[in-house]
Every structure is written in structure tokens, then in C-alpha cells.
Amino acid sequence: MKTFEEKWTAWLDEQLSGKELEEFEASLPDLAAARAEKHDAQKLGAFLKQRLGTQTLTNEEFFNHQIRERIERDEQEDVSERGTRSSWWTVPRLVWCGATALALFLITTFVFLGGDQAEEQSDYLTQILNSRVDPAANPNASIYIFESNKTDNKVTVLWTEGLQSLPADYAAK
Amino acid sequence: MPFKAVLFAICFALAAGTPLPAAPIVWSGLVIAENVPQPAAIPPELTNLEQTLKDLFGYNQFELIGQSSKALKTGQEDWLANSKYFGLHVDARGENQSGYTINLKLYKEKDIMLETDANLSKSSPLVIKGPQVGSGQLLLVLVVKADEPARHRRRTEPANPVRAGYYRLRRAIHDIFH
């Protein structure tokens, strides 16, 4: 079942015939106005066909040749531009930059953060760096180092054993 | 112009009035520890360490036979605590972040009995067990104490700016990462 619009379009294109044509024209309220509209539409169609007809290329091969050349030229420019932009970042330079950055990181880490453990401990405890006794006078002497924090005091103790004993006179002020 | 003069005066007054950190004093003492029937009171310099010393050495009396206190102005001073026969020579060899690097020498008359290098912390006393003396024991004690503000000291003898800057930078970076 065709809609009115389909029948109208077919009527404008003179595609209706016979009984269908009669019935459609009978259904139109103003046949004269419709025929005038049909006439205008046909006139417009003829005008458009005349004006917008297909333009054929007379130099098709030359046109294609020019397009291909332009594409090739653009591609070459892209490649050369890309090459110019990345020329400074050569592989050796990248390697050197990476090595330099790593070295800076390591230096920073060791210089500024490396001694943290020892220093944090030093904030609380005295550290004995080295100790020695006179080996001639104290051949059996030995030295121990420990920390005592039994009370509130955190005391570093240097404990000697085997030092030469002295008479009580040496306790004089 | 008057505004600039007033601003300068205010800045100067603020700078002059800003209290500086306390100057540390290192107290060093020669102590004879022994057990006696009626122990004397412990010297006031050792009051804080009394229980520690008793626990460590097992003596009930601690008598000072020589002592010395030294204000560290540059961190490079040296001094001597003497008794009749012993001498404790302390040579401060610079300040570090946690305290002072020191070299200690215990002399028996003119002979060096014991020598040690240490980083003396501001919050941790150093106790050294020396030789047996009669029925007692010679102990060497070093304690860092704080003194009154060292405004004049700092003005006349400024700290090494490079070292101070280095420690400041290091501390700042340390604070960032912790």
C-alpha cells in the first residue's frame, strides 16, 4: 500500500498510469493547482539536469600524475622533518644523559642520605672510633665497647681489661 | 629615607635580640670508684649518672680526683683534667651533626696509658673504665652540657659557613625524605 507521498512523487515523475492514475487524481482536492505544481517541478528538474550535468576531465592522466607527485613530495618532507627533529637525541647522547642522571642520583643519595643510619644513632649515642693502649706497659690489655641504657641515660662505655694495676697512692687528688 | 632608617634599625634590633643556641660545655672528670662501708655522697656532676655507674661497675662510692669544664667555642679546643698522677687530655677536633669529634689521652704521669677517638654525642655521656687503683677503679667520664646563650661567642667567632651550610642543606634534604 503506497502512501500519499509515494503516489505524489510517482505522479510528479509520471510513473502512475491507468486506474491508479485516475484514482490518485480523483483524490486530489485541487487538480488544477496540483498540475501547475507538477509543471513547475518538471521545469525545475529539467533545469537542474541541464546545469549540473557530469563534467568530464579532459586531462585525467596529467591530473593523476600531479596528485601522485604531490603525495610523494609530502611524504619525503615528513621523513626529512622527522630526521631533523630527532638528530640531537642520538643513541650515544641518550646513553650519556642516562648515565649522568644516574650518577647524579647516586651522588645525591650517598652524600645526603647515605649516612643517615649512623647519624641517627649518633644523635643518641657517643661512638668510639678507635682505641688503643700502650702495648708495652699493658701486654694483656683488651678493650670492649658497649652501650648502656639501663636507666634514662644512654651511656657509651669503653671497657678495658688487663690494664696495669696501680697502687692506691694514684687515687690522690 | 627615614623609612629605610627605621626599617634598618628594626632589623638590627631583631638580629641583636635574637637568642642564639646555647654554647655547649664538655665536662670531663677523673673518678675513683670503690666500695667503702660509708660511701660519701656522689659529686653533683655525676648525679645523673649515679645509678648507671653503680649498675655498671658495682661500686658504691664515686670520688672526683680531677675535673675540667670547657666551653666549646670553635669545636677545636683542647684541655686537660688533672689529678696528682693522672691527666686526661681532651682534644676536640671539630663539630659534626651529632656532637664533637674528640681525641682522648689518659696519662699516668708522662706515659700515655690509653688513647681513643670518639664522636661525643650531645645526649650520650662517655664512660671509660681505666686501670685498677688500689682497691678501686679509675673511671673517666665525659658529658656534654649546654651553657647560657652564646651570643657574644657567635659574633666574635662565626662558624665555618661552608660546613654550616652543608649541614643545613643535608638536614633539609633529610627532612624532605623522612
Percent of chain B exceeding pLDDT 70 equals 75
Number of residues that this document lists for chain A: 173
The least confident of A39-43, A167-171, B11-15, B36-40 is B11-15
In whole angstroms, give the CA distance from residue B4 to residue A8.
96
Q: What is the pLDDT of residues B81-131, one digit of tens each?
A: 999 999 999 999 888 777 888 999 999 888 898 999 998 888 889 999 999
Residue B58, pLDDT > 80, answer yes
The pLDDT assigned to B14 comes to 43
The pLDDT assigned to B132 comes to 92
CA distance A151 to chain B (A): 6
The pLDDT assigned to B42 comes to 92
Percent of chain A exceeding pLDDT 70 equals 86
Contact A142, A122 (CB under 8 A): no
Q: What is the pLDDT of residues B23-34, one digit of tens each?
A: 688 899 999 999
The least confident of A32-46, A66-80, B98-112, B139-153 is B139-153
Residue entry with cell 686537660: B80
Residue B11, pLDDT > 60, answer no
CA separation, residue B22 to residues A158, B89, B123, B156 (Å): 28, 24, 14, 15
> What 8-state DSSP symbol labels residue B37?
S
Mean pLDDT for A12-34 is 88
Residues linked to residue B69 through DSSP beta bridges, in sequence order: B27
The pLDDT assigned to B155 comes to 40
B134 close contact with A: CB closer than 8 A: yes
> Least CA distance to B34: which residue of chain A?
A171
In A, which residues are within 8 Å of B176 by CB distance? none
If you average pLDDT over every residue of chain B, what do you get? Answer: 79
In whole angstroms, give the CA distance from residue A171 to residue B59.
15
CA distance B7 to chain A (A): 38
The band of A83, judged by pLDDT with boundaries at 50, 70 and 90, is low
B62 close contact with A: CB closer than 8 A: no
CA separation, residue A100 to residues A104, A107, A110 (Å): 6, 10, 15
CA distance A83 to chain B (A): 42
Question: How many whole angstroms from its chain centre is CA B166?
Answer: 23
Largest CA distance in chain B: 78
Reported ipTM: the value is 0.72
A123 close contact with B: CB closer than 8 A: yes
> Least CA distance to B116: which residue of chain A?
A131
The pLDDT assigned to A89 comes to 79
Backbone φ and ψ of A78, nearest 5°:
-60, -45
> Least CA distance to A167: which residue of chain B?
B134
Chosen from B82, B111, B124 to mutate, greatest number of chain A CBs within 10 A: B124
In B, which residues are within 8 Å of A134 by CB distance? 111-114
A18 conformational bin, left if phi > 0, alpha if psi -120 to 50, beta if neither? left
Residue entry with cell 664522636: B119
Residue A98, pLDDT > 90, answer yes
> What 8-state DSSP symbol labels residue A164?
P
Mean pLDDT for A67-89 is 80
Element spanning A51, H or E: helix A31-51
Contact B135, B124 (CB under 8 A): no
Q: What is the pLDDT of residues B32-50, one digit of tens each?
A: 999 999 999 999 989 988 8
Residue B17, pLDDT > 70, answer no
